Amino acid sequence: MVKRMATTTDGKIVVVITGDPVPEVRRERGDFGAIFAEAIGEHAPGYRSIDARIEPVEVADEELVVITGSSANVHKREPWMLQSEDALRDIVARGVPTLGICFGHQLLAQALGGDVQKNPRGREISTVEVTRRGEDPLVDFLPRTFLVNACHKDTVVELPPGAEVLGDSPLDPHQVLRFTPRCYGVQFHPEWDDFIMRAYVAGRYDAMVEEGIDAEERKSVAQDTPDARRIFRVFLERMTS
């Protein structure tokens, strides 16, 4: 049984939902709100969620923002994405602590003046190795290389002004970005465990075969990534303390 924390309307962490999990994950673990409640755990005084696809993103100065992943594509510029980008520019300008994850990472980059497109290096999926670059409290505690769970076809191809790279991988040079001292993005999923990663590999299996990716090898390497999860916890602890 997965322990989940109930949402509150007056919490200090806002989870901006931009998509839905693959069916197996949704059946077993719930929607992204439930998955992030589990990942937040005791490190959060409470949280509330906003579905950016159907409601405006409104965040108070005393809150903290986490933007989820999605199967949507930032470069398709759908109306809800543009509205969310407007809101995120204001949120970041006000100094509200913000963390974008996968699609959320890309949405922040686009909102702040960067560019997101289909990754010319191809799909990155399953457990992969990231190399730490630069120095920042968000990653300073990590080993030089660490494992993360990733699933994406798009990438940040052009950084926004002032953004700094804190981590990269062979298929993505912008795995960890510091947009401002209080705003970060990670291309991977620190909230995923081995079950979720394997479910995504299974859900993308046929597509990987069509793209010439060794799907069985990607399935075999999927695992827990505690260092990636610690990045999420460190962000929460630093920004809510």
| Active-site pick, 63, 102, 124, 152 | 102
Among the options 105, 152, 174, 189, which is catalytic?
189
- Helical (H) or strand (E) element with 64: strand 64-67
Q: Which residues lie below 8 Å from residue 236, measured CB to CB, with a gap of 6+?
A: 13, 40, 43, 44, 64
Separation between Cα atoms, residue 228 and residue 190, nearest integer Å: 5
Active site residue 151: no
Classify 134 in phi/psi space as left (phi over 0), alpha (psi -120 to 50) or beta.
Answer: left
- What is the C-alpha separation between 214 and 228, in angstroms, rounded? 24
102 is catalytic: yes
Q: Which residue carries 């959320």 as its tokens?
A: 104
Q: Is 105 a catalytic residue?
A: no
Among 63, 85, 124, 191, the active-site one is: 191
CA distances from 160 to 18, 62, 192 (A): 21, 25, 27
Residues serving a catalytic function are 102, 189, 191
